[in-house]
Amino acid sequence: MKLCIKIINKRKFGNNFSMKMTYFPVSNGVMCKNEVREALAVISEDGTRSLWSEESKLKLIYWHFPFARGLQCFFMGIIALFKAQFWADKIKKKKKDFTILFSLLSAVLGVIFAGLVLGYLPGKLGYFLIGADSSTLLRNFIIAFFKVVLFAVFLIALKAFPVMREFFRFNRASDLVSIYGENCRGKYKNGMCEPLNFLNFLVFTFFLDIFVITFIGISLGFVLNFLVNLAIFLLMPMVAYEILWLIDKSGWSYLKSLCFVTSFFVTMRPSLTHVETVLTAQTEMNFLLSQKERGYMKDDGRKPFSVVYAEVKNKLNKVADKSDVDWIIATVLGKNRAEVKLVESVSEKEYKDIMRATNRRANGESVDNIFGYTEFFGLRFDVNKKVLTPRMETEILVEQVLRFAGKKTKILDVGTGSGAIAVSIAKNSEAVVSALDISKSALQTAQSNAKKNGVKVEFIESNLFNNLKRRKKYDIIVSNPPYIPTKDLPKLDVNVRECDPKIALDGGEDGLLFYREITAGAVKHLKSGGMLFYEVGKGQIGHVKKIMKENGFKDIKIVKDYNKIERVIYGKL
């Protein structure tokens, strides 16, 4: 039997009145459902995940009304369980599938069990222990107690069947996802269900039904007995739901711990596979809710995008942030990151390309080096192992320079590398931009980037200012020099250490070598009143400020980056 998960868009269906997402586990997956949409994620024996989504035909009508919502939840959930299994069978496309036959046979056996074991045996035990002449209420209580105990034994016995164990594992995984979202990985302890977990609610309802119907024990003839018992059967889901709702809303842990009694029967420790399958269905529901124009997913032989997205996110969970997930998929598909969420499915070739890039990123290689280019200041730059990949923080340096870059302003970028700073300034101002670097291969990359972005920049091969004419003066000199102390290079992330050139990282013994040399050289090549701009490493701002002051710079300003780290410093000569 395969594993199937049905998900509904909401954190859990009862912790507020509007149902946003609920999870209905079945034997080989989970269905996720909200008021208007539903998505099913299925995993096969070989580990392949499939996805199915459609408009929900089960509308929530009385979700705001106490008691009515419990009855609606009861029947809606049962229908959802059968529907999810039916979907799973369609996704698997089996020509000969005996799942439905097996389900019907199980239902028949369940009725026989209920009639013989839960009906006949407890009654005989009650009359044997209490006697026919004793109190009717006491005898009925004893019989009801035995029925509940036997039902509990029956539920425990279900865990002996592999298909039911998977069912309960998916139920627990659904609960973890509903509570922790994408941060649920690793939180796989058995634990107990949330009070309003659907299976917990279902079992609690049946316990109440069995006990109350037996305890009342009416004897009004077959027809009246049937009608009264039916009324009790319909009343118990309403009562059970409101009790669990109050426990959930109370916030009192000792009350929630009471749910352990029933949740014990419907939970088992899930694996990462169970959790990831639930997350796949949740991802699809999130896309359906956030992108109204998104089409529903049918099994057409292509890889569902939500399956691919969840798989990439799982592989990169501990080594990269979410932006890398979007970047990898968008790059392979030739789309921007805003468009990629509208994708419904990918071809087998696209899937293989995505996973190939994902595995490289998971092994520590940067996205920029995987694809050979990166985005910086809204522009595209080719990068390679001969140049430092520009960082997002460096955009702040460019922004500050542009504040002072007027028409015909002469600007020099020292140590240009990929040319990101020089090209971005030239693209966004009318300044006359020059750039120098000691590396010929870096200058070739920078020249190519300038051409591709349609800007004119003068590139100079030079070790700092050595090849500049003595009388060459600039209005602004800007630099993002190497600033990592030599002793700290081995501590760098493997992605940086192996993919970026050492010459662009090593800042000497204290990391300040190039600040001293560039500042001293800038004094000779800046016009009177000219400005010097630097990007600096964390904790270096004080030292660089001192170097600038010692060389005659004043009106020194400091700018923090997105993480509130003092990142940019500039001053006037």
pLDDT tens profile 266-297: 888 888 888 888 888 888 888 888 777 677 77
Among 486, 558, 562, 571, which Cα is nearest to 522's?
A: 571
With H, G, I as helix, E, B as strand and everything else as coil, classify residue 240. helix
Structure tokens belonging to residue 157: 């016995």
Q: Which amino acid is at 19?
A: M
Which of 219, 250, 266 is the endpoint of a domain?
A: 266
**What mean pLDDT comes out for the span 196-206?**
88
The pLDDT of residue 443 is above 90 = yes
Kindly state whether residue 370 falls inside one of the protein's structural domains.
no
Instruction: Looking at the structure, tell me whether residues 8 and 78 fall in a common domain.
Output: yes
Whether this prediction's pTM lies above 0.75 is answered by: no
Kindly state whether residue 368 falls inside one of the protein's structural domains.
no
Which residues, 6 or more positions from 208, have their beta carbon under 8 angstroms from its beta carbon?
236, 239, 240
| Residue range of the domain that includes 336 | 303-363
Give the pLDDT band (50/70/90) at residue 89. Answer: low
Number of domains in the chain: 3
Instruction: Looking at the structure, tell me whether residues 147 and 253 fall in a common domain.
Output: yes
pLDDT tens profile 31-88: 888 877 888 888 876 677 778 888 877 666 666 778 888 888 888 878 877 776 676 6
Residue pair 173/30 in contact (Cβ under 8 Å)? The answer is yes
Phi, psi of 190 (to 5 degrees): -55, -60
Buried b (16+ CB within 10 A) or exposed e, 500-520: bbebbbbbbeebbbbbbbbbe
Instruction: Looking at the structure, tell me whether residues 93 and 199 fall in a common domain.
Output: yes
Tokens 């002072």 belong to: 404
Rg (CA), the chain: 34
Instruction: Looking at the structure, tell me whether residues 347 and 467 fall in a common domain.
Output: no
Instruction: Looking at the structure, tell me whether residues 50 and 144 fall in a common domain.
Output: yes
Q: What is the pLDDT of residue 432?
A: 96
Rounded CA-CA distance 287/292 in Å is 8
Kindly state whether residue 290 falls inside one of the protein's structural domains.
no
Kindly state whether residue 292 falls inside one of the protein's structural domains.
no
Rounded CA-CA distance 46/104 in Å is 27
With H, G, I as helix, E, B as strand and everything else as coil, classify residue 312. helix
Instruction: Looking at the structure, tell me whether residues 487 and 537 fall in a common domain.
Output: yes
Instruction: Looking at the structure, tell me whether residues 14 and 148 fall in a common domain.
Output: yes
Buried b (16+ CB within 10 A) or exposed e, 122-151: bbebbeeebeeeeeeeebbbbbbbbbbebb
Q: What is the pLDDT of residue 529?
A: 92
The pLDDT of residue 14 is above 50 = no
Start-end of H helices in 59-135: 68-92, 99-113, 121-130
Kindly state whether residue 39 falls inside one of the protein's structural domains.
yes
Burial class (CB in 10 A: 0-12, 13-18, 19+), 231: exposed
**What mean pLDDT comes out for the span 446-454?**
95
Give the residue with greater pLDDT, 545 vs 99: 545
Instruction: Looking at the structure, tell me whether residues 347 and 426 fall in a common domain.
Output: no
- Strand duo 379-382 + 373-376: pairing: antiparallel
Rounded CA-CA distance 421/398 in Å is 6
Rounded CA-CA distance 169/204 in Å is 19
pLDDT tens profile 215-266: 887 777 778 878 888 888 889 999 998 988 888 887 676 677 777 778 888 8
Instruction: Looking at the structure, tell me whether residues 206 and 84 fall in a common domain.
Output: yes
- The CATH number given to whatever domain includes residue 335 is 1.10.8
Kindly state whether residue 286 falls inside one of the protein's structural domains.
no
Share of the chain above pLDDT 70, in %: 78
Q: What is the pLDDT of residue 96?
A: 46
Instruction: Looking at the structure, tell me whether residues 353 and 409 fall in a common domain.
Output: no
Kindly state whether residue 272 falls inside one of the protein's structural domains.
no
Give the pLDDT band (50/70/90) at residue 16. Answer: very low
Q: What is the pLDDT of residue 569?
A: 96
Instruction: Looking at the structure, tell me whether residues 357 and 441 fall in a common domain.
Output: no
The pLDDT of residue 10 is above 60 = no
Instruction: Looking at the structure, tell me whether residues 250 and 334 fall in a common domain.
Output: no
Residue pair 460/438 in contact (Cβ under 8 Å)? The answer is no
Structure tokens belonging to residue 138: 């006491």
Kindly state whether residue 515 falls inside one of the protein's structural domains.
yes
Q: Which amino acid is at 118?
A: L
Give the residue with greater pLDDT, 458 vs 286: 458
Structure tokens belonging to residue 247: 């426990």
Kindly report which listed range (4-13, 243-252, 466-475, 499-508) carries the lowest average pLDDT score: 4-13
- The CATH number given to whatever domain includes residue 463 is 3.40.50.150
**What mean pLDDT comes out for the span 178-205?**
77
Mean pLDDT, all residues of the chain: 79
